[in-house]
Amino acid sequence: MIKLAKAIATCGIGYMGKGGGSVAAAAYCVVWLLITGNTTTVWSIVLALAILLLGVWSSNNVESTWGHDSSKVVVDEVAGMMITLAWAPVELIFALIGFVLFRFFDILKPLGIRKAEDLPGGWGVMADDVLAGIYAFIVLQVVIYLADGKLSGLI
């Protein structure tokens, strides 16, 4: 069971060391660009909830081996990016803006994000990235609204 937990927690990327969170977030952006146009919003929400719950489970299981919120655990970044890009037009420009916004909130941890890490076990591992994803989602939606189509097709 620990092998499965490690596979989920790392998404195969977490073993790379420094920068794994950014790589995992960027990898999700690529996946989003390639397949999201073919999925419905309902399935995107169901998948995000599944990733969240799998992330909590796997983070709980690897914590005794790797410690709390190990840099090897990157499933939390995937969940955060999923939230960030929800309801965004599936275009490279929005993936890039969403990525920058998510990493900004995830790295600096303003507005209570750092406090979310204090939750126990896998909930603390996932909560800060979920909150970063929510903040990035809000800002991205404002950007999309204000841009009013002017950014579409830019990149």
Which pLDDT does position 21 carry in this prediction? 94
Which pLDDT does position 41 carry in this prediction? 74
6-22: average pLDDT: 92
Of 50, 72, 52, nearest to 62 (Cα)? Answer: 72
Q: Write out pLDDT tens, residues 99-154.
A: 999 999 999 999 899 999 999 999 999 999 999 999 999 999 999 999 887 776 66
Q: 52 versus 45: which is more confidently predicted?
A: 52
Q: What is the DSSP letter of 148?
A: T
Which pLDDT does position 38 carry in this prediction? 62
Exposed (0-12), middle (13-18) or buried (19+): which is 125, by Cβ within 10 Å? Answer: buried
Distance CA 92, CA 19 (A): 21
Which pLDDT does position 57 carry in this prediction? 97
- The sign of the torsion formed by the CA atoms of 45, 47, 50, 55 equals negative
User: Which residues are CB-neighbours of 111 under 8 A, at least 6 positions away?
Assistant: 105, 131, 135
Which pLDDT does position 54 carry in this prediction? 97
Q: 126 versus 17: which is more confidently predicted?
A: 126
CB atoms within 10 A of CB 136: 25
Domain boundaries, the chain: 20-147
Which pLDDT does position 150 carry in this prediction? 77
Per-residue pLDDT band for 43 (boundaries 50, 70, 90) equals confident
pTM as predicted:
0.91
Mean pLDDT of the chain: 91
Distance CA 45, CA 64 (A): 30
Contact (CB, 8 A) for 81 and 29? yes
Give 3-state DSSP helix, strand, coil % of the chain, rounded to 5: 75, 0, 25
